[in-house]
Amino acid sequence: MQVAVDGNVCQGHARCNALAPEIFELDDWGHAVAGEREVPTGHEEDAARAVRSCPEGALSIADAGSGTR
Ligand code: SF4
């Protein structure tokens, strides 16, 4: 499972980092670091919750196919 951060949409609310700090790193301005990243095993639900919680819709599941739980 992968999640993607759209750096053009992210406004730096840092909610994703609060919900899943092991997945979403913040830059010096409090924006999530853009790009795709692998979700560590066992953190799939954290990733999905962060995607739902981003107020800007900047997050997406990049590879939902392998996310079997
Ligand atoms: S919650 Fe959304 S807008 Fe806020 S830092 Fe994360 S990706 Fe960016």
For residue 39, is pLDDT > 50?
yes
- Domain ranges, residue 15: 2-66
> How many Å lie between the centroid of ligand 1 and the Cα of residue 69?
25
Q: Please give the tally of structural domains in the chain.
A: 1
Check if 59 has its Cβ closer than 6 Å to any atom of ligand 1.
yes
For residue 69, is pLDDT > 70?
no
* pLDDT tier, 67 (very low <50, low <70, confident <90, very high otherwise): very low
For residue 66, is pLDDT > 90?
no
- State the closest ligand 1 atom to the C-alpha of 26, by its place in the atom list counted from 1: 5
- Measured CA to CA, the distance from residue 63 to residue 38 in angstroms comes to 9
Q: What's 42's domain CATH number?
A: 3.30.70.20
Residue closest by Cα to atom 3 of ligand 1: 10
For residue 64, is pLDDT > 70?
no
Q: Is 5 exposed, middle or buried (0-12, 13-18, 19+ CB in 10 A)?
A: buried
For residue 44, is pLDDT > 50?
yes
- Measured CA to CA, the distance from residue 44 to residue 57 in angstroms comes to 18
Check if 19 has its Cβ closer than 6 Å to any atom of ligand 1.
no
